[in-house]
Amino acid sequence: MSKRKRRIEVVVESLAAGGDGVSRGEDGRVTFVPRAAPGDRLLVTLVQERKQFARGKIAKILEPSPLRVEPRCELFGTGKCGGCQWQHVEKSAQSAAKKEIVEQGLRRAIGKGMACAPLLEPCAPWHWRRRARFSFWAGGPKVLGFFPQGDKKITDVEVCPQLDEKLQGALAAIRSHLLPGLSARGEVSVVLGEDGRSHVSIHGSATRKSVEALASEACIAGVAHGNRHTGSSEVLLEGGIAASADSFAQASASGNVALRAEVAKAMGDLAGLRILELYAGSGNFTSQMSAAAKVVAVETAPVPGGDTGNIEWKKADVVEYTASLASSGESFDQILLDPPRSGAREAVEAITSLGAKRIIYVSCDVATLSRDIEAMAEFGYVAKSAQPIDLMPQTAGVEVLVVLERS
């Protein structure tokens, strides 16, 4: 006979970086509760208990917070979609939580004099997403959508209020033309170009007829399936950056415009400088820097192309490549890095030995950002400023740009 899980009453104090509400029980232990809002008084069923913390799920909302709102998406309300964390939280409270998460995560640097600017909010609250990845299952009734958090069963998604309306049109075309031709299990990625057409990439089994039917739609620029391309192999994003559905791009076009502008402002006048860009991706920042500076752009994935103008592309492991630069005595005026969520800890020592007067660090994870800038401080780099940017409304995600200068 299974043991009945304990229930406790809590009042939610704040929102955590992962999206959960944070509360404290009578014993002072922190309890994390998904889909909670600051100020909620809840009856919570504990699903995990540890000495220092517990995790629970809402059994009953005893007294709703004034910051709680009705979710726009019915799938969010049922807990069947893992795409958002905060649709139930009033937008100004989301913004306040993101600012607090950044300030708490960077409190040591702030305590040493780093300035943290107000949160930038360049995106509309809804319909901001221009890139998405859907999972599909065709072993029974065919479904295409998202996995709920902690669940292995895909929720079928026909409409998503986060999608740009033109990307929603691409999803409708995918469901109409491609879904009937899918089999087994896989993924479908899609990215919306500036011209309003989308590029689609299929990972899994699909009939040629369904792929060609999808590619014939006016809203679709091209479809990649295995080694075969039907139509265009990419679309153009802001700044003339070419992107396929499988390449990384910021989820919001307006957010990325703001991010590029903040990077340009942080770097200042680049005329005649030599710049090292790490984790360069598809060249989102590279092109705007290369108008004035010589740029060495490093990316582990296949790079966008050969050396062009002021850009020297290097397909290489960032840690290994920066170590080789350091050992050969190379130097740069500025370094820009935009690493994955795991950060760049293993490359810090090499990065800080390349003589740059300024390092600009762009991050989507405050914890690894804080760790890395503290490591850079050990090598003489002082964090001067932080700019948080909300690129993904209704989620717990927040982007941060930190400027470090050599002391």
pLDDT tens by residue, 343-400: 999 999 999 999 999 999 999 999 999 999 999 999 999 999 999 999 999 999 999 9
Residue 1 pLDDT exceeds 50: no
Q: Which one, of 301, 230, 302, 293, lies nearest residue 264 by Cα? A: 293
- pLDDT the model gives residue 305: 62
- The mean pLDDT value for 264-292 works out to 95
Alpha carbons 304 and 313: distance in angstroms, whole number: 8
| pLDDT, average across residues 284-296 | 93
Distance of alpha carbon 354 from alpha carbon 331, whole angstroms: 5
Sole residue written with tokens 């910051």: 67
Residue 26 predicted with pLDDT over 80: no
Mean per-residue pLDDT, 139-155: 89
> pLDDT at position 2, please?
54
Q: What is the mean pLDDT of residues 290-317?
A: 86
In this predicted model, which residue has the larger pLDDT, 302 or 70?
A: 70
Is the pLDDT confidence value at 25 over 90?
no
**Average pLDDT score over the chain:** 94
Q: Give me the domains of the chain, ranges plus CATH numbers.
A: 7-93 (2.40.50.140), 106-123+252-406 (3.40.50.150), 131-243 (2.40.50.1070)
pLDDT at 281 over 80: yes
Averaged over 10-34, what is the pLDDT?
92
Average pLDDT over residues 101-128: 98
Q: How far is CA 87 from CA 72, 93, 174, in A?
A: 7, 11, 26
Averaged pLDDT for residues 46-55: 92
Helix (H) or strand (E) holding 288: helix 286-290
**Residue bearing tokens 């790490």:** 278
Q: How many other CB atoms sit within 10 Å of the CB of residue 2?
A: 4
Which of 77-86, 173-182, 203-212, 314-323 shows the lowest per-residue confidence on average (mean pLDDT)?
Answer: 77-86
Rounded to whole angstroms, how far apart are CA atoms 134 and 174? 10
Cβ-in-10-Å burial (0-12, 13-18, 19+) of 407 comes to: exposed
Confidence class for position 306, pLDDT limits 50, 70, 90: low
Q: Which of 278, 279, 314, 309 is nearest to 294 (CA)?
A: 309
Mean pLDDT of 206-217: 98
Which of 107 and 309 is assigned the larger pLDDT?
A: 107
Tokens of 19: 């999206």
Beta strands 131-137 and 41-49: pairing type?
unpaired
pLDDT value of position 307: 59
